[in-house]
Amino acid sequence: PLWEKKVVKSARPKSRGGLTVLVTGAAGFVGTHVSVSLKRRGDGVLGLDNFNHYYDINLKRARQKVLERSGVFIVEGDINDMTLLKKLFDVVFFTHVMHLAAQAGVRYAMQNPKSYVHSNIGGFVNLLEVCKSANPQPVVVWASSSSVYGLNSKVPFSEKDRTDQPASLYAATKKAGEEIAHTYNHIYGLSITGLRFFTVYGPWGRPDMAYFFFTKDILKGKEIGVFETADGRSVARDFTYIDDIVNGCLAALDTAKKSTGSGGKKRGPAQFRVFNLGNTSPVPVSRLVGILESLLQVKAKKKVLPLPRNGDVEFTHANISLAQKDLGYKPTTDLETGLKKFVRWYLSYYSGSKKKTSSW
């Protein structure tokens, strides 16, 4: 059937030795960038995404067009659908799974808590069940989050720091994901690498994130809320540019050791890794606004608000020495440079010249 042909073609690497990667959440912000980069260097990529309506579905459809032009086919479906996953694994021999599908965002968890459990726990377990039973098992690399550090006051965060005080349900499901991943590694010999991303931004980004909706609201002359801590300091984030994150993801896939189990049977000790992927230079959100004002040539109408207790932490700051050592990870884009690229994309995407912008 045509569907199967598209799946096989998309997943076929250009040459022997190339990876065959299932990318979940491929229509998402990070998923789109990772999929295009893998395909460009010759790997086979099959996307999977349920195109949920958490944010602007048109943006996801536009990313899908970009992917199709790059030769990446996206299967429309949910990671909770065991029958679909098994079918994909029957049709394609995946050497790697890049798992990026999730219910993201910390504040939405107040409105729809179950969607986090559904995708980030239920869906992840479902995916790992299929990976564990595949023969041979694929290497799994997945997106955890800097939010696992929660109310930890010690910065910079390093992988050995405590992660027992999640500040949101989102964080709790990512932390649970890390425990679940460890269990599948231990019981079934799955090779699993978790990547704790720190506030990722860039072209084709997520409309629910501050840099994105600040840009929109500043241009519209709308008031924007900038959070402050109780002692009057601006909240700060370790903003990390998308290309740096993509390099970290590819390095994690490339350096992962093969799984030692097969078909659900444990063979030997398999690799379990967790890395911070951040930028190591936290920037106050007030400074983020200042950069946007100068790029957009518009003065923002700022309103300083106290930090709400519904998920946001005060500061994030990554210690990346482990990723530097084991992955050769080295972020190279500072916030000014990255935001310049984001704003350029934003202006051309929303000016209606879709043809021009979607050529990547």
- Residues identified as active-site: 170
Q: Taking CB under 6 A as the rule, does residue 157 contact ligand NAD?
A: no
Mark out the alpha helices in the chain (DSSP H runs): 2-11, 29-40, 57-69, 82-91, 113-116, 124-133, 169-188, 210-220, 242-255, 285-296, 321-327, 335-350, 354-357
Q: Which of 20, 119, 185, 234 binds ligand NAD (CB under 6 A)?
A: 119
Is there a contact between 116 and 173 (Cβ–Cβ < 8 Å)? yes
The two structure tokens encoding residue 130: 């299929």
Q: Which of 10, 38, 60, 248 binds ligand NAD (CB under 6 A)?
A: 60
The owner of tokens 């990722």 is 200
Greatest alpha-carbon span in the chain: 63
> Least CB distance from residue 338 to ligand NAD, whole Å?
13
Is there a contact between 140 and 181 (Cβ–Cβ < 8 Å)? yes
Q: Taking CB under 6 A as the rule, does residue 277 contact ligand NAD?
A: no
DSSP 110: G
Q: Taking CB under 6 A as the rule, does residue 178 contact ligand NAD?
A: no
Q: Taking CB under 6 A as the rule, does residue 64 contact ligand NAD?
A: no
Is there a contact between 199 and 316 (Cβ–Cβ < 8 Å)? yes
Q: Taking CB under 6 A as the rule, does residue 27 contact ligand NAD?
A: yes
Q: Please count the other Cβ atoms lying within 10 Å of the Cβ belonging to residue 43.
A: 24
Task: Tell me how long the chain is.
Answer: 360
> Least CB distance from residue 206 to ligand NAD, whole Å?
5
Q: Which span (20-28, 266-274, 301-309, 317-325) binds ligand NAD, by CB under 6 A?
A: 20-28
Per rule CB under 6 A, count of chain residues that contact ligand NAD: 28
Q: Which of 49, 159, 238, 244 binds ligand NAD (CB under 6 A)?
A: 49
Q: Taking CB under 6 A as the rule, does residue 295 contact ligand NAD?
A: no
The owner of tokens 């949920």 is 52
d(CA 247, CA 323): 11
85/218 with CB nearer ligand NAD: 85
Q: Which span (47-55, 183-191, 212-220, 347-355) binds ligand NAD, by CB under 6 A?
A: 47-55
Q: Taking CB under 6 A as the rule, does residue 96 contact ligand NAD?
A: no
d(CA 106, CA 274): 21
d(CA 134, CA 304): 52
Q: Which of 13, 44, 47, 123 binds ligand NAD (CB under 6 A)?
A: 123
> Least CB distance from residue 31 to ligand NAD, whole Å?
5
Q: Rg of the chain's alpha carbons, rounded to an integer?
A: 20
**Which residues of the shown chain bind ligand NAD in the complex (CB under 6 A)?**
24-25, 27-31, 49-52, 60, 78-80, 100-104, 119, 123, 143, 145, 197, 199-200, 206
